[in-house]
Structure 1
Amino acid sequence: MFVLVNLKAYPCDHLEVARAAADVADDTGVRVGVAPQAAHLSAVADTGVETWAQHVSPNDYGSHTGSTLAEAAADAGATGTLLNHSENRLKLADIDGSVQAAERAGLETCVCANNPAQIGAAAALGPDAVAVEPPELIGTGTPVSQADPDVVTGAVDAAAAVDESVDVYCGAGISTGDDVTAASDLGATGVLLASGVAKADDPEAALRDLVSGAK
């Protein structure tokens, strides 16, 4: 089970979270990753934690001011990237371009989507993983596995119908070990969360609770 923590643009201590995640991963053997702001990628990667970019752009080298070049993210220490998060939606052609850019730079990819139909479309683009995240549940503390478990099983089935090698992660409202267990029971191979760790008073305790539910 993969636990991927998206720090978004929260005013958290990215190094505290990264060090806690690295320690928890080392202690438990559970795969834990952290996705910080682009400017913090190098510092987070230096802690030894698995580091993901929150986004990479679909372009190659060139005149692309304001873009997040996949190669630059990799050079900073990222090993993977999120794409098409509900807070940073992309056109289908741009998702495809970003997946290709990430692959060119050797980055693992996870494309986010709202529902099973979108998961199927995302899986067809050939990412390593997809993450189903109903936007209305993001940040609520109510996991999709509890609010609407059919969304998770439907996403797993939709991805498998396109490409069985694509992993399916469960996002939106994940905050406890029980949520992680529920996601696993529904067929997900990872969870994507943010506020449950980034806003926690004790990020390490929150992480240890989360990985307690990993299978």
Structure 2
Amino acid sequence: MFILVNLKAYPCDPIEVATAARDVAEESDVRIAVAPQAAHLSAVAETGVETWAQHVSPNEHGSHTGSTLAEAAADAGATGTLLNHSEKRMKLADIDASLDAAERADLETIVCANNPTQIGAAAALAPDAVAVEPPELIGGDVSVSTADPGIVEDAVDAAAAVDENVDVFCGAGVSTGDDVVAAGDLGATGILLASGVAKADDPKAALEDLVSGL
């Protein structure tokens, strides 16, 4: 099981979360990564935790003010990137171009989608993984694996029908160890979460709970 903690633009201490994630990953032997703001990529990577970019832009070097260059993210220590999160929606052609950019920079990729139909379309672009995240559950207290387990199972089937090599993750509302176990039982091989760790009073305790059933 892969756990990716997206810090979004929350007012948390990225180094505290990164250090906690690194320690829990080492203690539990569970793969845990942190996706901080782009400005914090280097500092987070220096903690030794697996570090992901929240987004990379669909362009190469050139006149692209305000873009997040894949190569720059990699140089800062990122080893992967999210794409098409519900808070950073992209056109299909731009997802494809960002996947090309990530490949140039040797970044692992996860493409987010709202539902199984979109998961199938995303899987056709051959990312390393896709993640199903119903927007209405993001940031809430009820996980997708509890609120709508069928959508996770259908997403797994949709991706497998297109490319069996594409992993399927789930997110939206995931915050406990039970949520993680439930996601795995439904066929997901990873989870995405944010507020459950980034907003926790004790990020390490929150992460320890997440891996408790694995």
TM-score of the two chains, using structure 2 as the length reference = 0.99
Match of 1:20 in 2: 20
Q: Counterpart of 1:115 in structure 2: which amino acid?
A: N
Question: Could you tell me how far apart the structure 2 residues matched to 1:152 and 1:191 are?
Answer: 11
Question: Could you tell me how far apart the structure 2 residues matched to 1:124 and 1:101 are?
Answer: 17
Q: Counterpart of 1:6 in structure 2: which amino acid?
A: N
Give deviations 1:3-30, integer Å, cap 9, x for gaps. 1000000000000000000000011100
Is structure 2 residue 14 aligned with structure 1 residue 11? no
Contact preservation (8 Å) 1:179, 1:213: no
Write out the 4+ residue segments of structure 1 that deviate beyond 3 Å after TM superposition.
none
Give deviations 1:85-105, integer Å, cap 9, x for gaps. 000000000000001100110
After superposition, residues 150-169 of structure 1 pair within 5 angstroms as: 150-169=150-169
* % identity of equivalent residues: 81
RMSD of aligned alpha carbons: 0.4
Question: Could you tell me how far apart the structure 1 residues matched to 2:102 and 2:144 are?
Answer: 28
Match of 2:178 in 1: 178
Give deviations 1:86-139, integer Å, cap 9, x for gaps. 000000000000011001100000000000000000000010000000000001
Q: CA deviation at 1:211?
A: 1.0
Give the length in aligned residue pairs: 214
Question: Could you tell me how far apart the structure 2 residues matched to 1:212 and 1:111 are?
Answer: 27
Question: Could you tell me how far apart the structure 1 residues matched to 2:141 and 2:100 are?
Answer: 33
Structure 1 runs not aligned, ≥5 long: none
Question: Could you tell me how far apart the structure 1 residues matched to 2:57 and 2:184 are?
Answer: 31
Q: Counterpart of 2:77 in structure 1: which amino acid?
A: G
Structure 2 runs not aligned, ≥5 long: none
